[in-house]
Amino acid sequence: MLDWIADLASWELLALEPPGWGGVLLGGLAVSLQVAVGGYILGFLFGVGGATGKLYGGPILRDLLDVYTTLVRAVPELVLILLLYYAGTDALNQLMLLIGAERVDISGLAAGIFVIGVVQGAYQTEVLRGAFKAVPHGQIEAARAYGMSSLQVLRRITLPGMLPHAVPGLANLWLIATKDTALLAVVGVAELTLVTRQAGGTTKSYFLFFCAAGLLYLMVTLISNVGIRRVERYARRGMPAVR
Amino acid sequence: MGPEIRSWREPHRLVLLAIGIGIIVFAAINMRWDWLPRYSGRLVEGVGTTLWLLFLTSALGFLLAVPLGLVQAAGPFWLSGPARMFCTVIRGTPLLLQLWLLYYGLGSLFAYWPEIRQSWAWPYLRSAWPYGVLALTLSFAGYEGEVMRGAFAGVPKGELEAARAYGMSPLTAFRRIWLPRAIHRALPTLAGETVLQLKATPLVATITVVDVYAIISRVRQDTYLTYEPLLLLALIYMILTGILVLAFRWLEAKVPVKGG
């Protein structure tokens, strides 16, 4: 009856060497972080492109970008991941067939980064667009009046000006990206959540492993929070404190 | 999104609209939809399960979020500390992990206890949906608790002092002033959180709860089709999201911004 307490405390299961599963969990964490970092950076590129297009693009581009951000934000990430995972690999293989190359086997890692990037891109587009619009127009006009080139305006005025407005949203999206990687477990990417379930299934110590994985995710979040606070302090330097 | 009103009748919009309709017609004709009539009944049931999960867990989660927010905004440290820790843990770990922890972890622990296995609750504890409801409820409470904390803290002190000056007891002041004002402040975020909650519901399909996502997975297994069921599923969620957004917009418009 008290077996399960013994079960909970069987720490040797978490040992790093093969009879233990600690190494496997850390490997899963590494995959999760790789997907999160890769997807976030890809999403940032999509976001910069999307925000620029929405602000300066022609009417057709703006409408298409509106469709992109609305679609991605209205459909569950899980469904998007399935759709993009199959559609993305399918499209690439069709392309390879078209140019006469061999079918390629896309690694789960690459597909995962692509999927997270597309999802993140839609949200980052909105964050960056909002931050960009928060820079007072008079400042940009003043910079132009001083004779700065558009690149100088961007570097000296627009980017530092939009940073304090963009950082909270972007930081939040980074935390979402780290947690969204767990959804890739459903398509079989060996990230932390999936390897945890495999470890639990093999040893029947589900509780122990899921708690351990939860702690790992929590540590990622908490460490990120420390970094975020630093970046935020840097971005807001010289501005009055909030509240 | 923006306040600028753009007309549907601009020429490029008409062209885009025509292209969009063309894609839909193309998909309807050239893709396989013959499975649709066979599964339509089960799909409706699945949508029902999804909506039922959404409303039940949002309502329960919100009821939990009010005390969580309140003790964080104004409670003693031995209440606000655990509440803050709860919110941090829920918001810092993936929902899928929480769901699997409850279903596989807690579910396997219960099996050790003969008392539980012989009790009336065992048939429920053996099925999947209580774990899904619990995980979604706790998740909503964690995120919304944080929102309610800010909403409670943001109600102007003067209003509460005025309520006290009118001779309201703390409970009456809470019921008449503090809670309604906090909910009003939280309403826009509440709308967003509810949409996020809708988008979180398909996760319960991974623990064998039969919602609309699970039905679509079933269709995919039966028919070996990849895209058609998933596209239909995306469309269903888009419609549900749209209805939710409109409903909250209507609700927000119902609340008077200025009293009198």
A1 pLDDT higher than 60: no
Residue of higher predicted confidence among A143 and B10: A143
A211 within some domain:
no
Distance from CA of A218 to the nearest CA of B (A): 5
| Range of the structural domain that residue B165 is part of | 39-254
Residue A118 pLDDT: 93
Identity of the residue numbered B161: E
Residue range A164-177: mean pLDDT, rounded: 91
Alpha helices in B75-203 (DSSP H): 77-92, 95-100, 107-110, 114-118, 122-126, 129-154, 157-165, 170-173, 179-200
Distance from CA of B230 to the nearest CA of A (A): 7
A138 within some domain:
yes
B90 pLDDT higher than 50: yes
Residue B32 pLDDT: 82
B14 within some domain:
no
B16 within some domain:
no
Contact B97 A217 (CB under 8 A): yes
Contact A207 B233 (CB under 8 A): no
B96 and chain A: CB distance < 8 Å anywhere? yes
Residue A241 pLDDT: 66
Q: Which of A21-30, A75-84, A86-95, A99-108 has the lowest mean pLDDT?
A: A99-108
A203 within some domain:
no
Share of chain A above pLDDT 70, in %: 91
pLDDT tens across B121-170, in order? 777 777 888 899 999 999 999 999 999 999 999 999 899 999 999 999 98
Residue range B78-103: mean pLDDT, rounded: 92
With contact defined as beta carbons under 8 Å apart, do A75 and A155 qualify?
Answer: no
HSE (side-chain half, CA atoms, 13 Å) at B213: 26
B237 and chain A: CB distance < 8 Å anywhere? yes
Residue B145 pLDDT: 92
Residue A217 pLDDT: 94
B210 within some domain:
yes
Q: At what angle do helices B129-154 and B36-74 cross, to 10 degrees?
A: 40
Residue range B184-206: mean pLDDT, rounded: 90
Residue A2 pLDDT: 56
**For residue B106, what is the nearest residue in chain A, using CA coordinates?**
A207
Share of chain B above pLDDT 70, in %: 95
Q: How many domains does chain B have?
A: 1
Residue B98 pLDDT: 93
With contact defined as beta carbons under 8 Å apart, do A199 and A27 qualify?
Answer: no
Residue B258 pLDDT: 59
Q: What is the rounded distance in angstroms from the CA atom of residue A31 to the CA atom of residue A9?
A: 27
B5 pLDDT higher than 60: no
Could you please report the per-residue DSSP string of chain A? Answer: -THHHHHHT-GGGG-SSTTSSHHHHHHHHHHHHHHHHHHHHHHHHHHHHHHHHHHHS-HHHHHHHHHHHHHHHHS-HHHHHHHHHHHHHHHHHHHHHHTTPPP----HHHHHHHHHHHHHHHHHHHHHHHHHHTS-HHHHHHHHHTT--HHHHIIIIIHHHHHHHHHHHHHHHHHHHHHHGGGGGGGT---HHHHHHHHHHHHS-HHHHHHHHHHHHHHHHHHHHHHHHHHHHHHTTTSPPP-
Q: Which of A227, A197, A201 is nearest to A213 (CA)?
A: A197
pLDDT tens across A181-224, in order? 999 998 888 889 999 998 888 887 888 889 899 999 999 999 99
With contact defined as beta carbons under 8 Å apart, do B213 and B202 qualify?
Answer: yes
B6 within some domain:
no
CATH number for the domain spanning B62: value is: 1.10.3720.10
Contact B112 A197 (CB under 8 A): no
Q: Which residue of A90, A186, A196 is in closest CB contact with B206?
A: A186
Distances, alpha carbon A113 to alpha carbons A89, A123, B109, B222, in Å: 12, 16, 36, 29
**For residue A133, what is the nearest residue in chain B, using CA coordinates?**
B2
Q: What is the rounded distance in angstroms from the CA atom of residue A54 to the CA atom of residue A48?
A: 10
Residues of B in contact with A90 (CB under 8 A): 226
B26 within some domain:
no
Distance from CA of A97 to the nearest CA of B (A): 19
With contact defined as beta carbons under 8 Å apart, do B179 and B97 qualify?
Answer: no
Residue B3 pLDDT: 43
With contact defined as beta carbons under 8 Å apart, do A84 and A183 qualify?
Answer: no
Contact A79 B202 (CB under 8 A): yes
Sign of CA dihedral B205, B209, B215, B219: positive
Q: Which of B74, B13, B44 is nearest to B210 (CA)?
A: B44
B31 within some domain:
no
Contact B93 A75 (CB under 8 A): no
| Range of the structural domain that residue A100 is part of | 38-189
Q: What is the mean pLDDT of chain A?
A: 86
Contact A211 B105 (CB under 8 A): yes
A59 within some domain:
yes
Q: Which residue of B13, B95, B97 is in closest CB contact with A63?
A: B13
Residues of A with CB under 8 A from a CB of B: 1, 3-4, 59-60, 63-64, 66, 71, 74-80, 82-83, 86-87, 90, 126, 175, 179-183, 185-186, 193, 196-197, 200, 204, 206-207, 210-211, 213-214, 217-218, 221-222
B160 within some domain:
yes
Identify from A3, A4, A7, A75 which residue to disrupt to test chain B contact, counting B C-beta atoms within 10 A and taking the largest count. A75
Q: Which residue of B93, B105, B230 is in closest CB contact with A82?
A: B230
Residue range A1-16: mean pLDDT, rounded: 62
Q: How many domains does chain A have?
A: 1
Identify from A8, A54, A191, A206 which residue to disrupt to test chain B contact, counting B C-beta atoms within 10 A and taking the largest count. A206
B178 and chain A: CB distance < 8 Å anywhere? no
Residue A7 pLDDT: 57
Q: Which of A27, A4, A2 is nearest to A206 (CA)?
A: A4
CATH number for the domain spanning A159: value is: 1.10.3720.10
pLDDT tens across A118-138, in order? 999 999 999 999 999 999 989
Contact A1 B112 (CB under 8 A): yes
pLDDT tens across A133-170, in order? 999 989 999 999 999 998 999 899 988 889 888 998 99
Residues of A in contact with B195 (CB under 8 A): 74
Residues of B in contact with A29 (CB under 8 A): none
Residues of B in contact with A206 (CB under 8 A): 100-101, 104-105, 108
B19 pLDDT higher than 80: yes
B228 pLDDT higher than 80: yes
B114 within some domain:
yes
pLDDT band at B260 (very low <50, low <70, confident <90, very high): very low
Q: Which of B96-110, B162-176, B236-250 has the lowest mean pLDDT?
A: B96-110
Residue B257 pLDDT: 66
B196 and chain A: CB distance < 8 Å anywhere? no
Please state, as a whole number, how many other Cβ atoms lie within 10 Å of the Cβ of residue B101. 23
Distances, alpha carbon B139 to alpha carbons A116, B5, B104, in Å: 21, 37, 17
Residue range B5-24: mean pLDDT, rounded: 79
